[in-house]
Chain A
């Protein structure tokens, strides 16, 4: 292992672990906001309970998401200083915008939302969670614009004197065609994750409540039905969105990063009317020994540009082309990872699809399911969107290898950087120390994250939390009066309203 290998593993590990949490945050924030809105509009206590229940899960997840995100902000400079010098002029701007626009917003308003249940008027308090939802989605836009620039650099020129890329148009960077396709694809992926999370937990609880059978449990099961249906609705919208944006993204990729798509399809040689491969076998990542076992004719050509008879360039021809353009070197990504990550990304999303169809069926016409197989399906489907997200990003990022800034075929070819030129000059020992440290810290925190989520899911909604059904206020917490010591101004029941509605 060289320092370069460790730096790659470290960035990959910390990013994948960050992005297990991020989609749930991005998707769950607007869903919790929608649940709270539904409570305020309908006045139904079930929505308040759902808001609090999923709000708690959201916050457990949010904490580790923030913690793992901190590392990313520093890691460019720490482990990839040569990259940072080369791209900082362009890449830094969306990162700083992300901080200024999104991070401040979500972190400030999440505090107001958590602690403001009885301090803020209801509509203002609702506005806070919507601001959080807006913030987390806005941050996704800026960081994806930054990432898309690495995949398809635009709006910049190369300054040979300073040996760096320089920004010429922030507008081009923020409206990069790659970003405009990647952002909705990522956000739909996140919404699918959160929709699956809500529907699977809701579905599991419905079955659990119905099978337990006492009056309280059956009431609880019924209160989860609209929540589950809401999750299912989000899943279906997201699935359609994912299909459309995924197709658009693939068409862009065939044009902008042909090597990545050729590897994803294990298209070793230039082909006309290329087939889509479903299963291949091969040895040692070697293009020459790949055997295509199952194929769908014409599909790849059709996916690439809408014409089933079009000609696509293969990995071998692209490699020769790159050598002629950029000098000797191996310009192929890891074919095995690209091929399988792409297939697993699509394969895992089937989990959500099955759950969506089954969920709609078992909850049709007011029914509340009680069958064991459905609760088992819920648990099986729950992790699949997380795996699909990870596979999608592994494909996107490892398909870009060996570039860290991939040359834009229609842009300035001098704006390009190999991963091997990007790394800081640290010793192997120091990189090994840091990756072990991160692995240990993340490992422990991930175990706690999982155990906490599991405990809180099994616990279910708190029927008698201080936030709902509090005292005689059955319809939720009273909006705070601004009297001294947390009293609500009327002077009534001072002893109980003295207390904060929430404290760490």
Chain B
């Protein structure tokens, strides 16, 4: 394996980690109004706080996987980073606005003890979860499917080109997968009514999510897949079926591991289908290959040493933080709001 190939793998790993970890964060954000009941329900606020606090201590660290994946693209494949980030300008702008609003909404939600304040925060969390969950699917589906690239290597697809059937299916499939992943995560991390409702919701959306996910995976495989990526199709399918069975058997950990594997399967399939290119073009001659996009040998060597040393360390302390906060949360454990009173 050449060094650029190794780096393609490393970036695939970082994005896969991002999808698995921030995937359930998005799921939880999308579920806030659904599992949190209607706003005027007496129990709604406590339930929403249970949902939010299942990801409370870890969501910020999960999001850094994206930042590091982006920076690693910049370092290892500057041409890839520059072309994709400028080419998908408006989609990334939407993702950024979503993520910005989500960060502030989560952190500031409890600062003022006022239903209207919290209502707006919930809108922010919703925007910051629905938009990126769909948009990442749209972006990666189009990267694999092929975009317009001009003679100077610039991506010229506009937003309407990106909203093609395959791109839209990718967006919906990833969004559905994150929704299921999030519901299963809530079932694993909460107790009481929320846990029961999360499990019920997961069981209800399991079939449509599986069907849409299967359609996307199969389309990807037939249009762009290689021989070995059939294994990822099989993995994603088996994981989704296992998730369905585990949800029905009330085995939440197994269900969560299954949805995680399904996300991994889809992500590896997309990167596998893309290989050996980093960006497919509608005119295959203009596709950008790993070799053409890669940094110099020395840069890749330096970066390799850094990741080999640092990434395991990061994974160890992130795992530790999950262990520290491993306990389930129920509405009874949510402390009273310590926000300040609403005031002009």
Query: Is B71 touching A96 in the complex (CB atoms < 8 A)?
Result: yes
B residues in contact with A499, CB < 8 Å: 332-335
Say whether B81 faces chain A, with CB atoms less than 8 Å apart: yes
- Interface residues in A100-117 by Cβ distance below 8 A to B read 100-101, 103-105, 107-112, 114-116
Residue B111, interface by CB 8 Å:
yes
- Bound-complex Cα distance A390 to B302 (A): 34
B338's partner among A88, A93, A424, A465 (CB-CB below 8 A) is A465
Q: Which of these binds chain B: A335-343, A391-399, A454-462?
A: A454-462
Q: Name the residue in B61, B97, B110, B343 with the highest tally of chain A Cβ atoms < 10 Å from its Cβ.
A: B61
* Given contacts A73-B71, A78-B92, A99-B67, A503 and B334 within 8 Å (CB-CB): yes
| B282: interface (CB < 8 Å) | no
Chain A's closest residue to B343 (CB) is: A455
Within the assembled complex, what's the spacing in Å between the Cα atoms of A437 and B91?
13
* B334 partner residues in chain A, CB cutoff 8 A: 499-500, 503
Across the interface, A486 reaches (CB within 8 A) one of B110, B295, B327, namely: B327
9-residue interface stretch from B161-169, B172-180, B317-325:
B317-325
Write the chain A residue with the least CB distance to B305. A170
Would B61 and A504 count as touching, CB distance under 8 A?
Answer: no
How many A residues have CB within 8 A of the partner chain? 81
Assembled-state Cα–Cα distance A63/B111 (Å): 12
Instruction: Tell me the complex Cα distance, A308–B321, Å.
Output: 58
Q: Is B219 an interface residue (CB 8 A)?
A: no
B64 with A104: CB separation less than 8 A: yes
Q: Once the chains bind, are B81 and A77 in contact (CB under 8 Å)?
A: yes
Chain A minimum-CB-distance residue to B111: A452
Give which listed residue, A99, A108, A114, A441, contacts B100 with CB less than 8 A: A441
Measured between beta carbons, the chain A residues less than 8 angstroms from B53 are 500, 503-504
Contact check: which of B56, B85, B106 meets A115 at CB < 8 Å?
A: B56
Given A120-B324, A434-B89, the answer on whether A441 and B101 have CB atoms closer than 8 Å is yes
* Interface pair A108/B318, CB less than 8 Å apart: yes
A462 near B338: Cβ-Cβ < 8 Å: yes
Q: Which residues of B contact A255 (CB under 8 A)?
A: none
- Chain B residues near A110 (CB-CB < 8 A): 60
| Chain B 61-76 interface 0/1 with A at a Cβ cutoff of 8 Å (1 = within) | 1011001101111111
- Determine whether A49 belongs to the interface, using a CB cutoff of 8 Å to chain B: no
Point out the residues of chain A lying under 8 angstroms from B103, CB to CB.
Answer: 63-64, 66-67, 70
Interface of A is mostly: helix
The 0/1 profile, CB within 8 Å of B marked 1, for residues 326-368 of chain A is 0000000000000000000000000000000000000000000
- A34 CB within 8 Å of chain B: no
Asked if residues B335 and A466 are in contact (CB atoms below 8 Å), the reply is yes
Any chain A CB within 8 A of the CB of B303?
yes
Residues of A within 8 A of B295 (CB): 88-89, 92, 166-167
Q: Which of A38-46, A79-87, A235-243, A283-291 contacts B (4 or more CB under 8 A)?
A: A79-87
Complex CA distance for A209 and B55, rounded to whole angstroms = 39
Specify which of B56, B76, B89 is in contact with A92 (CB 8 Å cutoff): B76
Q: In angstroms, how far is the closest chain B Cβ from the Cβ of A133?
A: 16
List of A residues within 8 angstroms of B108 by Cβ: 60, 63, 448, 452
Residues of A at the B interface (CB closer than 8 Å) are: 59-60, 62-64, 66-68, 70-71, 73-74, 76-79, 81-82, 84-85, 87-93, 95-101, 103-105, 107-112, 114-116, 119-120, 159, 164, 166-168, 170, 424-426, 430, 433-434, 437, 441, 445, 448, 452, 455-456, 459, 462, 465-466, 484-486, 498-504
What are the nearest 4 A-B pairs in CB distance? A88-B78, A77-B85, A92-B75, A63-B107
* 21 A-B contacts (beta carbon < 8 Å): A64-B103, A70-B100, A77-B82, A88-B74, A92-B78, A93-B299, A95-B75, A96-B76, A100-B310, A101-B310, A103-B67, A104-B68, A109-B317, A111-B57, A111-B61, A116-B324, A167-B302, A170-B302, A434-B93, A445-B100, A459-B340
